[in-house]
Structure 1
Amino acid sequence: MATAIPHTEAVLRLPCLGPEPLPLGRALDALVGYAGARRWLRLRSPGTPEGRWVAVPAYGWARFDTRPAAHGLDAEVLLGEGLHGRLDRDGWQAVHDALTATAPIVDALVAQAAGRAFWDLPDEELSVLGEPGTVGALLRRLGEEAGPYGAHVLAARHHAHPDLVPHLTRTTRRALLPHLEEGDSGVEAVVHRDLRANADAFAALEAAVAAAVPDTRPTRLRLHDVLLWLTTTLRRAHAEDAGRSGEEA
């Protein structure tokens, strides 16, 4: 798997990842590693009661990013499970109900964005000064009403609207909170600032990831999410090593 990126001095300056800029080559290694890294899992079955080792994807790429668009609520719940793990019966019903309840919010969000990608929205759409009815206000409502399994719900919403709905978890939200500025409508405003301030670098990264991992083409909104999650969960070094070594998915 090629991980080369055209020669460039460009870096990502993302305060939520730390004070140092992240070279695009290392960012690409981490993203390619997220897509291709494997881990060993010991399995037992009736046919092999002694057990055997199986290499499985280390991260959620194959279970989420490469999956086709969902059709129906059950399929949307499955997408959330693909990224965040299996749900018990009560959890499944909670996510199903939250997807139903938040559908009008998503419809209003799409209408307010009017075909614009999240990173192309004006700053006013992520500021409390423009509320009510802004994209930021609607995203805040979506997060509040996603319920106790919000990560599953937002994963499904992001998959359906990959250029508009950020995918956030408790972990990544906490990492964004210290970077809120006065007037921000929520932590989504921090992501918006990051994407706008690094527009050229993210455009190059989108193209490089699409070339290195041709099974799907994630938007810069998802790439930001993956880099933030890998960093805050202390997995980025492992993903970078896997990307540099060309580990195949």
Structure 2
Amino acid sequence: MTGGRRDDAALVLPSAGPDPIPLPTALAAVLGYARGRRPLFFRSPSAPQGRWFQVLAYGFDRFDGQRRETGPAPTDRDVLLAEGLHGRLDPAGWRQVRSALDDVRPLAQALEDRAAGRAFWELPDDEFSVLAEPGTVGALLRGLGDRPGARHVVAALHHRHPSLVPLLDGVTRRQLSGHVVEGDSGPEAVVSRELRANTGAFTRLESAAATLLGRPITRLRLHDVLLWLAGSLRMTHAVAVGRALAAETEEGLELVISS
């Protein structure tokens, strides 16, 4: 599926699966991702026999919940934020990502300049077509993904530019790759089509998620969360946890979406 109008009561995301995702289900998944916890058995000097703790199941608080870096140059904190989402780096990997962030600074600036204040989902098709290259947003994003430590580099840049730089890792790239068509500059073209094809639904989901989480979360990140949950086979768990956390019925979640 490459475009067209969609019912704003559900998200039609072919990259996440063949069936539409009702908005209450999507909202429950996002809530479960943001607030869900899991048990972890831990031993410490004060409790050598060990005890169970409830720890966050996913990376929302360690990544999305952290203050955004806005200075002109990358810092060590950019790497720490990326580690909050994708896991710790060894010393060599840490230095590689930190160096790469300095190296891609001109590329990131070119990306901002090309977007000219527009969000990712507001960009036209040509920005993700090889026929319009060089210098397009799609070509610039492909350059970011070609760097050493690209997963952490892209995560750090997304945190700085949450409405412009899509998050991609091994799981989501595999989900998107089957939907790349001839002429696409990369998997980002698929994300662009799906966001624009579901404009109304994502607008409602953004508003509802901000209400429940107490902070804004862009549709670019919402798409990533839903795609990652589907591709990593965690969607069922996140939805169940989200519904339990809401302590409401499916109809209750619909009221949040409709408000």
Assess same fold via TM > 0.5: yes
CA contact (8 A) 2:145 2:151 kept: no
Residue type at the aligned position of 1:78: L
The correspondence of residues 109-128 of structure 1 with structure 2, limited to 5 A, is 109-128=111-130
Structure 1 residues without counterparts, runs of 5 or longer: 1-7
- Cα deviation 1:161-213 (Å, max 9, x = unaligned): 00000000011111101101111111000000000000010000000000011
Residue type at the aligned position of 2:35: G
Q: Which residue number corresponds to residue 194 of structure 1?
A: 194
Q: Which residue number corresponds to residue 155 of structure 2?
A: 155
CA contact (8 A) 2:15 2:176 kept: yes
Q: Which residue number corresponds to residue 40 of structure 2?
A: 41
Q: Secondary structure at the match of 2:139?
A: helix
Q: Which residue number corresponds to residue 4 of structure 1?
A: none
Q: Which residue number corresponds to residue 5 of structure 1?
A: none
Residue type at the aligned position of 2:132: G
CA contact (8 A) 2:8 2:200 kept: no
Q: Secondary structure at the match of 1:16?
A: coil
CA contact (8 A) 2:144 2:150 kept: no
**2: CA distance between counterparts of 1:13 and 1:198?**
7
Q: Which residue number corresponds to residue 227 of structure 1?
A: 226
Paired positions, count: 238
Q: Which residue number corresponds to residue 209 of structure 1?
A: 209
**1: CA distance between counterparts of 2:39 and 2:244?**
17
Structure 2 length as normaliser, TM-score?
0.89
Q: Which residue number corresponds to residue 32 of structure 1?
A: 31
Q: 1:85 aligns with which of 81, 84, 87?
A: 87
Q: Secondary structure at the match of 1:86?
A: coil
Q: Which residue number corresponds to residue 246 of structure 1?
A: 245
CA contact (8 A) 1:37 1:247 kept: no
**1: CA distance between counterparts of 2:83 and 2:8?**
38
What is the CA-CA distance between 1:247 and the residue it aligns to?
A: 6.5
Q: Which residue number corresponds to residue 254 of structure 2?
A: none
What is the CA-CA distance between 1:19 and the residue it aligns to?
A: 1.2
Q: Which residue number corresponds to residue 164 of structure 1?
A: 164
CA contact (8 A) 1:33 1:247 kept: no
What is the CA-CA distance between 1:63 and the residue it aligns to?
A: 0.4
Does residue 218 in structure 1 map to residue 220 in structure 2?
A: no
CA contact (8 A) 2:8 2:201 kept: no
Please tell me the root mean square deviation across aligned C-alpha atoms, in Å.
1.4
CA contact (8 A) 1:105 1:142 kept: yes
Structure 2 residues without counterparts, runs of 5 or longer: 1-6, 248-259
Structure 1 length as normaliser, TM-score?
0.93
Indicate the larger mover: 42-51 or 120-129.
Answer: 42-51
What is the CA-CA distance between 1:53 and the residue it aligns to?
A: 1.2
Q: Which residue number corresponds to residue 67 of structure 1?
A: 66
What is the CA-CA distance between 1:52 and the residue it aligns to?
A: 1.5
CA contact (8 A) 1:33 1:242 kept: yes
Q: Which residue number corresponds to residue 237 of structure 1?
A: 236
Does residue 177 in structure 1 map to residue 177 in structure 2?
A: yes
Q: Which residue number corresponds to residue 22 of structure 2?
A: 23
**2: CA distance between counterparts of 1:135 and 1:115?**
12
Question: Taking every aligned residue pair, what percent have the same amino acid on both sides?
Answer: 56
